Amino acid sequence: MSRSGIAHGSAVVDAPVRPAWPRRTARRAWAGVKDWVGDAVQTDPGIRRPSRRDLGAVTLLWGIGRLVNVLLLGGWYLVSKAANWGFGAPGYPAKDFLSFLTDWDADRYGRIAEIGYPPNLPLDMYGDVEPNDWAFLPVFPFLERTVAGATGMSWQLAGVLLSILFSLGATIVLFLLLRAVTKPGAAWWATVLFTFGPLSFIFVIAYAESLFLFLLFAALLLAVRRRYVWTLVIGVVCAYTRPGVLALALALGIVFLVRWARRRSDPFPLRERLRLCAAGLVIAAAGLSWSWIADTVTRTPHAYILTETAWWTPLIGTGEFVPLTPWFRFAGMYLGILGIVLVLAIMIGFFCWMWSTPVRRLGLVVAAFGLSYGLYLFGVFLPQQSLFRLMLPMAPLLGDERLSRTRRRRAVTLGGALVLQVAAVLLLWTIGYP
Span 249-257, average pLDDT: 98
48: exposed, middle or buried (Cβ count in 10 Å: 0-12, 13-18, 19+): exposed
Report pLDDT for 416: 97
- Measuring CA to CA, how many Å separate 329 from each of 312, 313, 334, 340, 404? 11, 12, 9, 8, 36
DSSP 43: P
Report pLDDT for 44: 74
Percent of the chain with pLDDT over 70: 94
Residue 2 reports pLDDT greater than 60 = no
Q: Flag whether 30 is in a domain.
A: no
pLDDT in tens, 133-189: 999 999 999 999 999 999 999 999 999 999 999 999 999 999 999 999 999 999 999
| Structural domain of 51 | 45-430
The confidence band for 3, taking pLDDT boundaries of 50, 70 and 90, is: very low
User: Could you tell me where the DSSP H helices lie in 180-227?
Assistant: 184-196, 209-224
Other Cβ atoms closer than 10 A to 54: 19
The closest alpha carbon to 175, from 195, 160, 155, belongs to 195
Our count of domains for the chain comes to: 1
Q: Which stretch of 8-12, 224-228, 247-251 has the lowest confidence by average pLDDT?
A: 8-12
Residue 8 reports pLDDT greater than 70 = no
The confidence band for 22, taking pLDDT boundaries of 50, 70 and 90, is: confident
Q: Flag whether 1 is in a domain.
A: no
SS3 call for 40: helix
Residue 82 reports pLDDT greater than 50 = yes
The confidence band for 271, taking pLDDT boundaries of 50, 70 and 90, is: very high
Span 206-215, average pLDDT: 98
Cα dihedral 166/170/172/174 (nearest 10): 180
Q: Flag whether 6 is in a domain.
A: no
Measure CA 36 to chain center: 22
Span 371-399, average pLDDT: 96
Measure the CA–CA gap between 303 and 308, rounded to whole angstroms.
9
Q: Flag whether 39 is in a domain.
A: no
- Model-level pTM? 0.93
- Maximum Cα–Cα distance for the chain, whole Å? 102
Residue 30 reports pLDDT greater than 80 = no
Decide: 324 and 377 in contact? Cβ < 8 Å: no
Q: Flag whether 112 is in a domain.
A: yes
Q: Flag whether 28 is in a domain.
A: no
Parallel, antiparallel or unpaired: strands 5-8 and 11-14: antiparallel
The confidence band for 427, taking pLDDT boundaries of 50, 70 and 90, is: very high
> Phi and psi at residue 292, in whole multiples of 5°?
-65, -40
pLDDT winner (highest mean) among 7-21, 114-128, 202-216:
202-216
Report pLDDT for 21: 67
Q: Which helix (H) or strand (E) holds 335?
A: helix 326-335
Q: Flag whether 31 is in a domain.
A: no
Residues near 83 by Cβ (< 8 Å), separated by ≥ 6?
none
pLDDT in tens, 388-410: 999 999 999 999 999 999 999 99
Residue 351 reports pLDDT greater than 70 = yes
SS3 call for 14: strand
The confidence band for 6, taking pLDDT boundaries of 50, 70 and 90, is: very low
- Of residues 250 and 93, the one with the higher pLDDT is 250
Report pLDDT for 12: 53
Span 47-61, average pLDDT: 94
The closest alpha carbon to 80, from 434, 432, 418, belongs to 432
Report pLDDT for 235: 98
Q: Flag whether 19 is in a domain.
A: no
Report pLDDT for 378: 96
- Of residues 32 and 336, the one with the higher pLDDT is 336
Span 9-32, average pLDDT: 64
Residue 242 reports pLDDT greater than 70 = yes
Residue 1 reports pLDDT greater than 50 = no
